[in-house]
Amino acid sequence: MKKTFITLLVILLVAAGFIAIRKFAQPPLQTRTRFIMDTVCTIKVPGGKEVIPMMDKAMDAMEAVEAKFTIHKEGAPLYEFNMTGKPVTDPEILYLVKLGLDVCKQTNGALDLTIVPVMKAWGFYKGEENKVPSPVEIKEAVSKVDYRLLAIENGKLVKKKPYIQIDMGSMAKGYAVQKAGDLLKANGIKNALIDGGGNIFALGKYAGKPWKVGIKNPRGEGVIGVLDAEDMAITTAGDYERFFIRNGIRYHHIMDPKTGSPARGVACVTVISPSSTIADAWDTALFVLGKDKALKKADELKEIEVLVVTDDGHTFMSAQLKKDLTGK
């Protein structure tokens, strides 16, 4: 970040899609940071050392979400579901899968929880090498993607075809952030800023005023604008988070389930909602839908506001967000 920016701020939290800001002469912040879900997660709470144990418990809660929802560790429920077809009965997983399937249906598959074969074809999982798959490989991967072949029946998550695999990565970070915020609030901490690698939840206030959260410019320095955030989640899906370049072309990890290739037309989508879980569930889907459909969907849903930056650098916002977003 430029030195001129630093001289104006006492707190600068730079995340995948956000910059959380507060000016001089504010109360001290306690900070806890861990590497969770392949990203740096941070919790900041105003106050003295007495708040640290509860912050650690909130971090533990985020790690528990990672352990439960991973598809890469043998013995984890979703790993076993993918590899052996063993039904999942854990109520917490069923809750999040149901929410995700609702978004899949509302977007006609722009979000698809069974995207695993496509992600593997492009090498976007940890330990894999990025590659541009052939048209034949893409077609084969797409043929194994269909959220309609997932079902929750009699309290169990089941698959209708043996090749179906699920990935909750598009939602789990937001859910983990929500869990951390709920735990802090339930234990008497009224004010906190939680950053799950770009999934922000602003709990309460800081020094009597809303937290300041800047929405990062996906193609340059600084921010597009600043939000006053109080009991609010702000999440971003962006093509700058995980990508590789081949022959001058940027290939990012947000896949269009219908084409089996990176979604085009959008650089980032930011979703604002009272719920971090809801915001994270929608940002990927809206990215894939594209600018026009994303803004239309924001008008239809009362629980979200949306900002879209197209890949040619233009910014568009839902109606309420135009009123709420301030300048730099």
Q: Above 50 in pLDDT, residue 10?
A: no
Give residue 320's pLDDT.
83
- Contacts of residue 47, Cβ cutoff 8 Å, sequence gap at least 6: 27, 28, 30
Query: What tokens appear for 180 in the block?
Result: 């951390």
What pLDDT, in 10s, does the model give residues 274-300?
999 999 999 999 999 999 999 999 999
The terminus-to-terminus CA distance of the chain in angstroms comes to 14
Cβ–Cβ < 8 Å for 35, 8:
no
pTM for this prediction: 0.89
Q: Domains of the chain, with CATH numbers?
A: 3-60+190-324 (3.10.520.10), 68-169 (1.10.3980.10)
What pLDDT, in 10s, does the model give residues 44-87?
999 999 999 999 999 999 999 999 999 999 999 999 999 999 99
Instruction: Give residue 311's identity as a one-letter amino acid code.
Output: D
pLDDT-derived band at 327, boundaries 50, 70, 90 = low
Give residue 23's pLDDT.
46
Torsion of CA 294, 297, 298, 299, to 10 degrees: 130
Query: Is the sign of the CA dihedral 325, 306, 279, 70 positive or negative?
Result: negative
Q: Above 50 in pLDDT, residue 319?
A: yes
Mean pLDDT, rounded, for 197-215: 94
Comparing C-alpha atoms, which of 207, 202, 203 is closest to residue 185?
A: 203
Query: What tokens appear for 206 in the block?
Result: 């800081």
